[in-house]
Structure 1
Amino acid sequence: MKVAILAGGVGTRLVEETEIKPKPMVEIGGRPILWHIMMHYSWYGFNHFVVALGYKGEVIKKYIVDYCSLNSNLTVNLKDGNVRIHNNVKTEWIVDLVDTGVTTLTGGRIKRLAPFLGNETFMMTWGDGVSDVNLHELLQFHRSHGKYATLTAVRPAARFGHLSLQGDEVVEFSEKPQTSEGWINGAFFVLEPEIFNYIDGDDSQWERKPMETLAKDGQLIAYRHTSFWQCMDTLRDKRLLESLWQGGNAPWKIWEE
């Protein structure tokens, strides 16, 4: 089964990093967050990726093309240009890198991937969020209901401490817990090819008319994920993920290297 990753956005809220690279190439623990996402899927046996490129897509292309050499020892003969790779990194990844345009919206990017995804079920996520969601359970859930689309619903961590009050008395205090109310779209989709019929073109935003219409038609189901999920929208988010990784407490790192 193929995995679509939308990696073409500008990432304006992370401008400190994205002036020179696309957001999926912003690093956590010395590796692009795109790599973390791909490692997650690969751990569950999903190794064929279709990546929608846009803003500074050439940076992602270069990283993927150079991936083996960047992660191996090399002998370079400058006389004849021959490069010999030692201890070659072992990966079963196949990566389709598809230019979907700089200004294309999310729905349009998905539609442009259709020829590469084929007429079969596929997974999809954004190129800027990590989670410990069990992808096998997600897929099983999707297949159990027979609808066109499954999204992963999450409750993100609250930004500030939570208070429970009785009058003026604080009866419970939790420092930045996971919110107890309000599910949001955490991506990590499983989709059927019929969803392409819900997308008009490049100016279509997936989170608006396509998903709204799928919901109206009874074709959108939510898989509730109550464990770790974190997007990387801001520099604050990046620092949080970096601190978890450096502290050896990265919940999304479920793979073995």
Structure 2
Amino acid sequence: MKAVILAGGRGTRLGQLSSIKPKPMVEIGNRPIIWHIMKLYSHYGVKEFIICAGYLGYQIKDYFINYSNNVSDVKINLNKNSIEYINKKERLNWEISIIDTGQETMTGGRLLKIKEFLDDNTPFFMTYGDGLADINLSKLLDFHKKSKKLVTMTAVYPPPRFGSLVIENNLVTKFSEKNIGDVGRINGGFFVCEKQALKYINNKNQPWESLPLVNLSSSRELSAFLHNGFWQPMDTLRERDELEKLWKTNSAPWKVWV
């Protein structure tokens, strides 16, 4: 089974980082966030990945082309133009297709551009290259198969970003922290899709999150897998720093692999 990762957009709220690297290549613990996402899928048996590249996509290609060189001790023979791995510290049996889907293409258009690489009768995982979670992907897949719908979306509670003030007679009397669950669930970005679902995308300028999902819902072809565990997007530098702190303190909930 394949996992598709949408990795072509710009991280416009990541400040200067977004001008020098694509958002999926922003590092958490000296590894790009896309690596963390792929490790999660790999833990659940996914070995084939299709990365929908775009903005500064060559950096994603360079990273994986040179992956073994960068994580291993090497012996280089310049005369023979050869490289010998002395101590290959990490072996990943991944097959990765990195497809240039355009710099300005919308998410729906990116999916259309990799349609030919998908299997007709096998569902595929799909996610964004900027969010982490401790989702049990095996349970997500089982739920999708039992639902018999074209698409299953993971529904999550957004992390609390702002507390509230208790004000009496123009005086702040209390600070109240917002709790998870105070607001409704949102699209958590971890999908299982049938290939037929791509028929709901009309053109390359259409975001997957707009009319395609709305029309799938109207057709009763969109099911929701409820996830109550950890989920965190990396939309801002603050969120990136929060993920970094979790990783450095060995308390990253998404690290389910050994």
Q: TM-score range by the shorter chain?
A: over 0.9
**What one-letter code is carried by the residue in structure 2 that aligns with 1:117?**
L
Other-structure match for 1:202: 204
Aligned pair 1:116/2:113, yes or no?
A: no
Structure 1 Cα separation of the partners of residues 228 and 180 of structure 2: 9
**What one-letter code is carried by the residue in structure 2 that aligns with 1:84?**
E
Contact in 2 for aligned 1:26/1:32 (Cα 8 Å):
yes
TM-score, structure 2 length as denominator? 0.93
Q: Aligned runs of 1:239-254 on 2, under 5 Å? A: 239-254=241-256
Tell me by how many angstroms 1:219 deviates: 0.4
Q: 1:163 to 1:249 in 2, by over 3 A?
A: farther
Structure 1 Cα separation of the partners of residues 143 and 12 of structure 2: 34
Tell me by how many angstroms 1:138 deviates: 0.4
Equivalent in 219, 222, 225 of residue 224 of structure 2: 222
Structure 2 Cα separation of the partners of residues 65 and 30 of structure 1: 17
- Structure 1: segments with no counterpart, 5+ residues: none
Contact in 2 for aligned 1:153/1:186 (Cα 8 Å):
yes
Deviates more, 1:185-194 or 1:71-80: 71-80
Q: 1:217 to 1:175 in 2, by over 3 A?
A: same
Structure 1 Cα separation of the partners of residues 169 and 224 of structure 2: 37
Taking only the aligned residue pairs, the percentage that are identical comes to: 46
Structure 1 Cα separation of the partners of residues 24 and 143 of structure 2: 28
Other-structure match for 1:149: 151
Q: 1:157 to 1:75 in 2, by over 3 A?
A: same
Structure 2 Cα separation of the partners of residues 164 and 147 of structure 1: 44
Other-structure match for 1:78: 78
Other-structure match for 1:14: 14
Deviates more, 1:178-187 or 1:191-200: 178-187
Aligned pair 1:68/2:51, yes or no?
A: no
Tell me by how many angstroms 1:17 deviates: 0.8
Equivalent in 211, 214, 222 of residue 213 of structure 2: 211
Equivalent in 184, 189, 192 of residue 182 of structure 1: 184
Deviates more, 1:70-79 or 1:209-218: 70-79
Equivalent in 133, 143, 154 of residue 131 of structure 1: 133
Structure 1 Cα separation of the partners of residues 165 and 159 of structure 2: 14
TM-score, structure 1 length as denominator? 0.94
